[in-house]
Amino acid sequence: MTKKELIEQIRTKKSFLCVGLDPDTDKMPLHLKNSDDLIFEFNRAIIDATAPYCVSFKPNSAFYEAYGLKGVAALEKTILYIKTKYPKHFVIADAKRGDIGNTSAMYAKAFLQTMNADAITVAPYMGKDSIEPFLQYKGKWAIVLALTSNPGSSDFQMLDPGFKELYKHVITSCRSWGSDENMMFVVGATKAEWLKDIRAIIPDYFLLVPGIGAQGGSLEDVCKYGLSKDIGLLVNNSRGIIYAGTGTDFADMAAKEAKRIQIEMSNYIK
């Protein structure tokens, strides 16, 4: 998916919502528990219910790998389902990969070619040669971890080695490896006020922003500091949507919450 196509979807749907697909069988409705394909059946119901209100889905690979081969199969099946039924939705494989070049090349092949996701989250700690393989696929994206919303982010990301905070150095370096047509950055919603400085460095790049909802981030603050002339945001909500309900109406409850967020987002799209 190109940047232009993504922007068109956002403006058409008046939404920049990304729904995180983080399946946890312990939290799923009891009436699904006897399914032979529990993870996929849960995902399919959530996808169908929320697709009208979002432009992106983000399955987190850890929530599939935890269940072994069956989980990985469900991940492949989930991505295929989205790409087949909702081809205009942007699919992010939240895998946070990053290793030496030849290993990264295989990670890129796994998620961007074999599974056919539109994007993959990557960790930049090992430098340029660990990121470049993810940028070799036309129409695909690398989404680089920049400033995350977890408490431990201050251990490294905000350190100032004498010239600028580390996360700013990461963003400045990485932008020269790709472009705003194939690279995005992850910035946590709980660090919303820092988006002003980030936008000064990368005014035209898309940002994937997790952390609203269960993690306490504010959509209003994210938009205040992070919106660009082309919106430039994909704001993720996982638990707050997919576990909005735990009964037989769980999908309807997920749709209700996704719609609520979409309506709020529409106020920020001029």
- Residues assigned a catalytic role: 96
Dist CA 70 CA 203 (whole Å): 41
Dist CA 132 CA 135 (whole Å): 5
Q: Could you tell me if 269 and 18 are in contact, meaning their C-beta atoms sit under 8 angstroms apart? A: no
Nearest to 53 by CA among 87, 84, 81, 14: 14
Nearest to 12 by CA among 265, 216, 251, 201: 265
Nearest to 65 by CA among 94, 29, 33: 94
Strands (E), the chain: 17-21, 56-59, 90-97, 119-122, 141-147, 183-187, 207-209, 233-237
- Which helix (H) or strand (E) segment holds residue 172: the answer is helix 166-175
